[in-house]
Structure formats: structure tokens, C-alpha cells
Chain A
Amino acid sequence: MDRPFVVLAIDALEYELVERFGCKNLKQENYNKTDISEFSQPRTMVLWSSFLTGENKEADILAKGDKEMWNTKIETKDTFLSGFSNPKVIDLPGYSYDKKQHDEERRLLKAFFDTDDPEKKDKIMKEYNKKSFDHHKQVKDEFMKSLEGCHDLVIGYFSMADVVGHLNFGNTAMMRMIYEELDELAGKLRSMGFSLLILSDHGMMSVGKFGDHSNYGFWSTNFDVENRNYRITDFGTIITNNK
């Protein structure tokens, strides 16, 4: 089998930080912002579901309500994945999302903002960050192993920039370290010679020392495509055309 097409799906990879930290591997040969202005808000589940289906899924996802939306599992036949014979999709919202992990992260995030006790806040933040780092390592291991398997498409979803960013965006050193980790991962994939798309649903902007979603995403490729602000619903076709 030919080498798989690889998608590094990174939640909240911020265009401006990629530039600021000089992440050459994340930028690849072509890079730009994605246009998500058609969505009322940059919501993770809405955006990745729209990526998968090539359609704006905002109304459908929001209709499920705040809690139920995280259970969304779109069938393969309704996604661009149906054009692949053996795709592997790790942890992607709307398809193979590890709900238990992410529910736990949201619980800790809520607990952090619910308490006024600085000591408790500190303890929660440490636990929250650690959970995200552990999860990152797990996904990375599974992702790297999948590249050796017989898949024609491998998508790995990495949420650390989003999860850690929400509580630590004002900590530049922490964000730099995370972006360097992701840049190193991208570098590894590039050196392995895969066709690589790096895609984020949205970016992140500073709200005091915390981070909130910014209203554009990021994309980059190591193959030729027109360099413009694609919509997130365009990428299924781009992947299919370049596999």
C-alpha cells in the first residue's frame, strides 16, 4: 500500500503563535488562516463536524444541546472518509472522540473557575495540565504506531494547545513549550515523507492570563495548493484530491 495521507488536527493552534515562535515545521511549504466567519462562534464540535462532512453543521450540533453535542458520532458514509479504504482517525471530535477524557478536562476547567481559593485553583490547574500532557502522549504514541499500519489516511487529533491554553495562555513559556512539542511532531512527520495537512479548528486569543477561541483557524500543507483562506468545509475535498 502507498504511504498514507496524514492530517495533524490540532485544536486551537493559533496562527499568530506559530509565527511568533517561528514554528517552521508547522508552517510547512504553504500556510494561512482558515475562514470560519460563517459560524456564529468558534465551537470545537461544530467545526470538526463541519470539516468531516464538508457542510456547515452548526445548526445540527447546537440542536443537540451543550451536553449531548459531545456525544456526536458522524457515520463514515456521511464524511469524506468514505473515499478512503482504511482510514484511521484518532480522538477526533464528531467521529472518534474520547469523551471520557475530555469530559474530565471540562469538569476540572469548571472546578477551576468555580473556586475562589487560590490554593485549590493551583492544585486544579496542575491536575488539569497533567491530564492533558498524559493524554497528548497517549495520542501521540497511538498516532505514530498508526503510521506504520496499513492505513491510507491517518488523522490524529491533538488537544493540548487548546486544553492547556485555556488556563495558561498568558504563560508564554508554557505556550512556547507546547508549540515546540507540536512543531517537533510536525517535523517528524515531514521527514517521513507523508503528504501532510496540518489543520486547526480555531486559534486562541488572550483573555487576561487565560485563553479563549479566536475566530480563525490555521492550515498548512507540504504539497501544492492555492494559498488562501479556505473554509474548514473545504479540506475534505483538498485531502481527497491530494491522497
Chain B
Amino acid sequence: MEKHERDHMRIVIVGHVDHGKSTLIGRLFFDTDSLPEGRMEEVKKACEELGRPVEFAYLMDQLEEEREQNVTIDTAQTFFKTDKRHYVIIDAPGHVEFVKNMITGASQAEAAILIVDAEEGVQEQTKRHAYILSMLGLQQVIVVLNKMDKVDYSEERFEAVRSDISSFLGRIGIEPSYIIPISAMEGDNVANVSDKMAWFDGPTILEALDTFKASPKDMSKPLRYPVQDIYKVGDKRVLVGRVESGIMKPGKEVMLLPSGKKTKVKSIEVFEGQKESAGPGECIGITIEHPLFVERGEIVCEGGSPLSSDTIKAHVFWMSKEPYTLGEEMLFRCATQEIGCKIESIDRKLDSSTLESKEDSPANLSDMEIGEVTLKLKSPAVVENFNDIQELGRFVLTKGLDVSAGGIISTRD
């Protein structure tokens, strides 16, 4: 497990829902001999018993079922591996799910593969997904032009689609590291060099991924510890939460935001004991030196410069069929913070597909529109730039039980 934490890279595969993401995932698993354990093992054994080959379609069935059962492969359970490292694939079945996942939780991707059907070319959904990558600041991007087998492995077709996608990506500030012609179904240029496209001398997907750099680990960042709850254990008051960045240690001088109260960490409490330190991703409890009144939603911080404000500028991706009209009340949810809010102004609105500005001073946001907005909160929230500390740089806006929008804080103005 420790090896995975040290050596793995999280990648996201995005693109139009019919352009072959599942097949590519299946192919990556198949060609790297990284089949998910479990029932597939039983199928492999059964094939041996009956003297039948293990077919690619069986793996696709398996992945399909995992999705149907919500054992989605965005849960960081599934890995494929190269000689260099392990990769975790982040994925979601549909368009809206993808956008939600990207914004609400699965966005720690360090690299992205944008998949485009070479036959169909660049579609609206391709553009939307690419825009999200740009909004998230993902710089390590591979574009794969899939289904080359359907276009007779034509260099001319490759060049035409390559030109289209490059031009669009250029407009949104993404410069792909590689653009690779592949056939996920046939296994061309995924893990193995294709012998059907001699005109292409670039890398396979795996070779390209292996050139990417892993992000610096969150432990080198300032401490951020959103408080989930406060438990009374004997005579101790334990602040329960998860370390999102930095290192938690007893004796550390910390500030609770947004209240601004200062104190020291007294102890780190875990089940049946105490710890000397805890790093990013660890769920722990802490006690503090001073008997302060602390509530769920406060952030234990050390260092850095978190913003505590009731006015926040952000990019918002509206993903509800029900449009938003200026002034409507919603709930702003960021880490463990839940605060009533409304959008005070929509400063700019873009169509997520064409990226054209829609109106000068729009009064509403509709499904799949992106707004550069100013949010007004009922009380201050603690936020960060998304590229500094992701957990405090992204949020969702909810109306009732529905997630209406996801947002990214990419500026601190």
C-alpha cells in the first residue's frame, strides 16, 4: 500500500461518452495484465477449464457491471501498472456524472487523457470536457484519436482531427503533450506499438504517461484540517476530521478559521490510542490546548494564506436542468463548511461547448453553462486557490438535495 502511495499517478480519461473510454480502460487493464481481482479470476479459471481463450469482451462485461453497481472505477480501487509506476484511473459513466466527479471529488488527477473518435471528430462534449480540464489547471494532457481502425488507419484523417482539436485546445490554454492515433479495440498504440500506422513515430499511451511527473505531495503544503465533528470522549473534547494538506503534530501552533482563534495541538487521537503525526488523507481526531468553542466547518490551519471571506469569486459549472436566477438562495458546501449563499453577480457567462460569451450581464445560469461569478455567503468561509489546496478550492452549490453546480476558486481577487 505504501508503495502505491509513493508511486502511483492518478489519471482521468475524458471525452465524449461514445468515443471509447470504457474500451480504452479495458484495453489498458488487459494489455498491462492488471485485470481487477475477483470474479474475473473465476472467469479466467473457467476459460482454462473449458479450454477457451480469455476474451477482451469478458473484461468489458466486468467493468460494465462494476459501473452498474456503482463500484465505479473512480474510487481509486483500480490500478494498472507499467515498469515505471502504478496508475489509478478516475472515470465516471456519463457526462453529468463526469463533470460532478471532476468538480466535487475526483479532481486530484495529475494527468488527463482526452479521447476523440477519429471517425466522428471533435464533438460538443469533447469541448466541454476539455474546458473542465483547463479550468482545473491540468497541464499534463494526452489527446488520443481513437477508432483509427474505423478510418483505415488513415494519416490524412488523423491530421484533420488533430488540427481541429489542437486549434480548440489552443484557445483554452491547453497544449497537449502528445496527440496519439490509437485503436483501443484493436490495441494499437495503447500499450503496444501499432504496425498499422508506420507513419506515426510518437509514443504509445503508456510510454507517454510514463514521461509525466507526479505532483508534489500534499504533505509539503500548509496544514489544513477541516473539522467534521466534535466528540466528547471521557473528559476530552476531540475535533474529528481529515488532514487535507500538511502535517498535523502535537505542539503545533494553529489558527481556527474563520473565527481566528489561536491554540496549540495537544494530541492526535486515533482508535484506541494516540499518534505522533498525521499526514494528508488521514482521518484522525485532535485535542487542543485551549477550551475554545469549535464548530463543524471550521478549518484548523497553520501557515499559508487562506482567505476567510463572505465574498468569493469563482468559476461555476451549472449542471442542473433547473436554471439559476440571480438572488436565489442555495447552500455553499466546501470541505466540511456548509453556508447559505446566493450568486450576487454573474460577471461573465460562457457556453461550455463553444466557449463563446453569452451575454454581458446575464441574470441566470442554465444547464451546462459556465459562469464567472461573485458569491455572497451568509457568513465567511475559508477557501484557497484550487491549484494550491484542492479540497478548499472547490465547492458545490446545492438546492435541496440536488447538486446544482460545481465550482472552482481559481483566483483570489
Contact = CB atoms under 8 A, between A and B. Distances in A.
B58 interface: yes
B348 to A, nearest CB: 47
A126 B42 contact: yes
B35 to A, nearest CB: 10
Given A172-B61, A177-B58, A136 B43 contact: no
Contacts of B374: none
A134 interface: yes
A133 B52 CA distance: 12
B46 A176 contact: no
B270 interface: no
Given A172-B61, A172-B64, A177-B58, A129 B52 contact: no
Contacts of A170: 65
**Interface SS of B by simple majority:** helix
B101 interface: no
A176 B61 contact: yes
B42 A174 contact: yes
Interface residues of A, number: 20
B409 to A, nearest CB: 42
Given A172-B61, A172-B64, A134 B52 contact: no
A136 B50 CA distance: 9
Contact of A171 (B42, B52, B57, B59): B42
A126 to B, nearest CB: 7
B321 interface: no
A130 B61 CA distance: 21
Given A171-B42, A176-B58, A181 B65 contact: no
A129 B50 contact: no
B40 interface: yes
Contacts of B194: none
A173 B52 contact: no
B49 interface: yes
A176 B40 CA distance: 12
Of residues A168, A170, A176, A177, which shows the largest number of chain B Cβ atoms within 10 Å of its Cβ? A177
A173 B39 contact: yes
A173 B62 contact: yes
Given A133-B49, A133-B50, A168-B42, 15 more contacts: A125-B42, A126-B42, A130-B49, A164-B46, A171-B43, A173-B39, A173-B61, A174-B39, A174-B46, A176-B55, A177-B43, A177-B50, A177-B58, A180-B52, A180-B55
